[in-house]
Structure 1
Amino acid sequence: MSLTDSKLKSLLNKVSDKITILADRDSMSARISPKGKIVFQYRYRHKGKQKRYDIGTYPALTLAEARKVVPTLRDIAADGYDIKEYYAKDEIDNCKPTLDQCIELFMDKYVSRLRTSTQSVYHYSFGKHVKGKFKTPVEDITKPQWYAFFDEVEKSSTGYVAQTMVKQLKTCLRFCSDRGFINQHTLNDLATKSVGHNSQVKDRTPSISEIQQILRELERSQCLVSTKNTVKFIIYTGARCGEVREMELTDIDLKNSLWILPAEKSKTKIKIVRPLAPQAIKVLKEQIGLFGEFSKYVFPSATYQNAISSQTINKFCRAVRARMNLQSWTVHDFRRSISTILVDEGIEPYITEKLLGHSLGGVFSIYNKSNFLNEQLAAYSKWERLIG
């Protein structure tokens, strides 16, 4: 049976006539001295001999904290080291958490409260670039090791991704420091701007002819239909990529040709109602016909269990861009295009703001609660004709 805090509290400082060993999971145990002192221990074998390593003393070290140390100890023993020799002394300060353990705490206690799309970004970036890269305690990672790691991220991905990783890991370790999980670490000594580069101000506005070329290239692409249709739907509606990716069947009213985005899925935390023009409806009907029986998502991943990921969309767009003789573009640029081009075509700016899912500012937003559905539909229909 695993240890519990209540059991440990009942034994703490309780005088006995013998030493008691209570087993926990994953080869961890608690040693209770005759005077009631409780020490967490890890059992392992080295060169055929059974050994114990003192992890730390309860309650200075909590049960949960002691358990977080175990995976690191297991890895050390699995690599053939004697844990006591590895740390040179048997005190808990030498069993400092690894970067993986810091990420685990950060994901569990902080990231889990963020928006689903933000959680997905953290899960992907940490899983792809960070997990398993450092086995040494995070407090012992040197500046040269950090720089070598981020340089490798930039080499395998981009400078922007490398700099983003610096920001994400600083946030993670700051959170762990605030909770007392770790002490000093050298990542704080790195200037964020010394790694990679930040994102540039975006002003790309693909023209009608460019969008027509992109749509033709999408049709020629040999990829999963959900991937292709996600990008097409973004072009037709000017909606945010995350809004489209996470669209569920319950958000669609085909009878009335409406897409109703709940407030909890909206970046502005306000319900967004968009009318659907013919090409957008065509995409939705194809998706629902293909995947409606298997997934709650209109644009599902290959497993049908989740929404298609932003990484899949970005990878697909990189492949499409590589085949085209066009200035670089992203799916977010299409929002700029639909707004700019439709205003030039005579559509009122407040209507294009509604298409983009923006809140109307000033007194307008206080007294006018109309969704301007007819006007939006007219604008969307005009947009589809322009790029069709």
Structure 2
Amino acid sequence: MALSEAWLKANHKKEREKTEERADRDALSVRVSPKGKIVFQLRYNYAGKAKRLDLGSYPLMSLKDARAEGQRLRAQLEQGHDPKNIRHKEKANIVNAKNFNDLFYMWYENSCKPKKASHHQILRSFEIHALPIIGEFLADEISLQQWVLLLEDITKHSQSIASRILLNSDHVYRWAIKRELASVNHLKDISAKHDLNIIKNSTERALTNQEIYLSWHALDKTRMAVKNKIFMKLCLMYGCRVGELKLAKKKDFDFEKGVWTIPAENHKTGKLTKKPLLRPIIPEFESLIRQAMMISYNSDYIFTALNSTEPMKESGHLSMPNNIFQWLKRHKNYEMLHWSLHDLRRTMRTNMSELAPPHVCEIMLGHALPKMWQTYDRYDYLKEQAEAYKAWYERLQVILNNHSLDVAT
């Protein structure tokens, strides 16, 4: 006769002389101790052996829930799994479950930090905007709704930070799932564009000749630190990535050979190619590099953070152009359209199109050449780069000496 809630209630905590068992259906039964404790159990055969598995005790587990659990495990048994092993693994997962704080810092140390140059910026964004709110929740129990509400709130203040947190949280979960530290990733269902209305700005800003003229002369007259002025000028002259110049050490510059070596770990394509970038040091650039070295005489790095021997901070360059904009507004009554240091790289490349072959231009920017080209062409193009940089320097001088580009005060 099948069990009923009435029978279970009547026998719960009812003492008896010895342990008794009573069958239900579908291999489910209960074991009743002399003190009246009732435990649901599943009987089954696995690999030719009779086995018994405790499912839970009444009334913490209801008859309805016990039957459902029995059915779930019997279905797993049909697929060749031992229900006892399944329950053991599930309990272990609960005991070892990680909260989002745990997962984030594990991913940060093992994946983000070694691979991403902007890892400091990622860490700061999470520690300010995400971890204080959802960090203590078990990673698998943070619902889709919680993520959406969090990201919508961040989007109100900064779309770029919301986008960064969405992208990297997705990376956290993907990394964790592969290592069986998490089992579900709700973030794969969230779109920055469609769910958060985040539109990524596609910038194609290259400075005009007049903007180059005004920016350069304004830069010389601002109250910026001299090292920062040199930093900006070299960004425009070399067209290098900001991070390459920030991490540049004095030992990377060989003035005798006239070569600046950017180690593989300091440039974007180096993670793939494992090769350094080689850029020529032409005489016209050398004086600025030596001047920067003298300013940071007590550091291994050419460009250092304020009152420090460490390299310039991750975000140390972001506000530099503002000094130029403010000077032009105050002294020339001129409103310059905003540009970033990366736009100086684009400005150099745009001008270089008229001065050098495309493949030389791409090598100067540190871009990877087509795969087949990379495989067979081992030439460093230092001579061709030097000629192109010299031509670019000469064009800059023509622009900077063309005072008709100035604006009336």
Structure 2-normalised TM-score? Answer: 0.62
How far off is 1:278 after superposition?
5.1
Task: Return the letter of the residue paired with 1:290.
Answer: I
1:100–1:132 CA contact under 8 A, matched in 2: no
What residue number does 2:382 align with?
A: 371
Displacement of 1:277 after TM fit? Answer: 4.1
Offset, 1:377 = 4.1
Match of 2:295 in 1: 290
Q: Which runs of 5+ in 1 are unaligned?
A: 1-59, 62-89
User: What SS does the aligned partner of 1:260 have?
Assistant: strand
The structural deviation recorded for 1:249 is: 0.9
Show the counterpart of 1:132.
132
Q: Deviations for 1:131-183, whole angstroms, at most 9, x for unmatched residues?
A: 42323333333444323332343343x32332222011111122122222233
Task: Choose the corresponding residue for 1:340, options 350, 354, 372.
Answer: 350
Compute the RMSD of aligned alpha carbons: 3.3
Distance 1:152 1:114 in 2: 29
- What amino acid does structure 2 have at the position aligned with 1:165? I
> Corresponding residue for 2:163?
163
Q: Which has the higher contact order (CA 8 A, sep 6+)?
A: 2
Q: What's 1:145 paired with? A: 146
Shift of 1:258: 2.9
Secondary structure of 2:390's counterpart equals: helix
Is contact 1:143-1:187 (8 Å) kept? yes
The residue aligned with 1:353 is 362
Q: Contact 1:260/1:271 (CA < 8 Å) preserved in 2? A: yes
On the 8 A contact 1:98/1:136 being kept in 2, the answer is: yes
1:31-110 alignment to 2 at 5 Å?
Answer: 93=94, 96-110=97-111
Q: Is the 8 A contact 1:279 1:384 kept in 2?
A: no
Provide closer, same or farther for how the CA distance between residues 128 and 250 of structure 1 changes in structure 2, counting only shifts above 3 A: farther
Conserved 8 A contact 1:257-1:276: yes
Instruction: Find the counterpart in structure 1 of residue 254 from structure 2.
Output: 253
User: 1:204 is matched with which residue?
Assistant: 205
Per-residue deviation, residues 13-34 of structure 1 (Å, max 9, x unmatched): xxxxxxxxxxxxxxxxxxxxxx
Cα displacement string for residues 67-95 of structure 1 (whole angstroms, at most 9, x for unaligned residues): xxxxxxxxxxxxxxxxxxxxxxx998388
Matched pairs, number? 297
**For the structure 1 residues 139 and 313, does the alpha-carbon distance in structure 2 shift closer, same or farther, using more than 3 Å as the test?**
same
User: Structure 1, residues 22-57: CA drift from partner, whole Å, max 9, x if none?
Assistant: xxxxxxxxxxxxxxxxxxxxxxxxxxxxxxxxxxxx
Q: CA deviation at 1:230?
A: 2.4
The 2-side partners of 1:363 and 1:272 are apart by: 19
Structure 1 residues 226 and 355, CA, compared in 2 at 3 Å: closer, same or farther?
A: same
Structure 2: distance between partners of 1:328 and 1:384: 21
Unpaired segments ≥5 residues, structure 2: 1-87, 401-409
Q: Which residue of the partner structure matches residue 300 of structure 1?
A: 304
Partner-residue secondary structure (3-state), 2:176: helix
Change in CA separation of 1:325 and 1:147 when aligned onto 2, cut-off 3 Å: farther
Determine what percentage of the aligned residue pairs are the same residue: 18
Distance, in Å, in 2 between the alignment partners of 1:127 and 1:339 is 37
- How far 1:207 moved relative to its partner? 1.3
| Residue type at the aligned position of 1:284 | I
- Residue of structure 2 equivalent to 1:66: none
Give me the whole-angstrom Cα distance separating, in 1, the residues matched to 2:129 and 2:322: 19
Equivalent residue for 1:314?
318
Partner of 2:182: 182
1:129–1:202 distance in 2 versus 1, CA, 3 Å: same
